[in-house]
Amino acid sequence: MIIAERKPLKEILEMISGVEKLLILGCRGCVAVCSAGGDKEVAILASALRLGRKKAGKPIEIHEDTYIRQCDPEYLEPLKEEGKKYDAVLSMACGVGVNFIAECCPGVRVMPALNTSFYGANLSSGEWAEMCAGCGACILHLTGGLCPVARCAKHLSNGPCGGSVGGRCEVDPSVPCIWQKIYERLTSLKQDQLLRKIMPMRDWRPAGHGGPRHRIREDLLP
């Protein structure tokens, strides 16, 4: 899922400084699962902003709502009219949701309440880790299911850099060297012959280096 975290309150208060009527809009997708932008987080942020503005002597009218998803046009439809009732909409979705509101609702001013971070997995309560960088050309069948694109600090495709110590990454010793883990896993699965395979230079265009990505499935078009 997409992992995000709320921006500092001070930054959000500055963002909405001229706003007198605000809609805080949560999303029940990924950001709700990672406890950044669901119903509960909308309520907490609304209270904090009301208090912050009251303390500053500039009370604000805030309405709260949460959509099923902010990255799907059918759920954004009501916002086209509803959004015009407010000076701004503060979205608690990922950046995709904020962009999509801007695209679908021309009359609505939208701001991001979250910093969208990465595609990650939930390791334990309150802990998430990046597992995929959405590179568009997956090589996990060659690496024991562990991703060196997202999980190696140097994005190496052909083995380790040689700097790891005790199985930890030399760039950030708080995380394991993913190439060490790939080696151990392929060895235990008796697939270590894959380690001798030289991967060709990657074409990074599918990873977004060729411009914004766009996908069409002809069979699903209306």
Residues that bind ligand SF4 (CB under 6 A): 132-135, 138-140, 147, 149-150, 152-154, 156, 160-161, 163-164, 169-171, 177-179
| The two three-digit tokens of residue 213, written as one number | 């990505």
Q: Minimal distance in Å, beta carbon 37 to ligand SF4? A: 23
52/134 with CB nearer ligand SF4: 134
- Cα-based distances in Å from 86 to 25, 77, 92, 93, 140: 12, 16, 16, 18, 46
Output the smallest distance, CB 181 to ligand SF4, in A: 9
How many Å from the N-terminal Cα to the C-terminal Cα in the chain? 27
Closer residue to ligand SF4, CB minimum distance, 35 or 122: 122
Label residues 61-100 b or e (16+ Cβ within 10 Å = b).
ebebebbebbbeeebbeebeebbeebebbbbbbbbbbbbb
Q: Pick the closer one to ligand SF4 by CB: 31 or 150.
A: 150
Structure tokens at 151: 């999980």
Q: How far is the CB of 125 from ligand SF4 (least distance, A)?
A: 24
CB of 25 to ligand SF4, least distance (A): 29
Which residues on neighbouring strands pair with residue 120, listed in sequence order?
130
CB nearer ligand SF4, residue 40 or residue 205: 205
In angstroms, what is the minimal distance from the CB of 169 to ligand SF4?
3
Which residue number, 10 or 141, has a Cβ lying nearer to ligand SF4?
A: 141
Structure tokens at 44: 């907490």
For tokens 């380690």, name the residue: 195
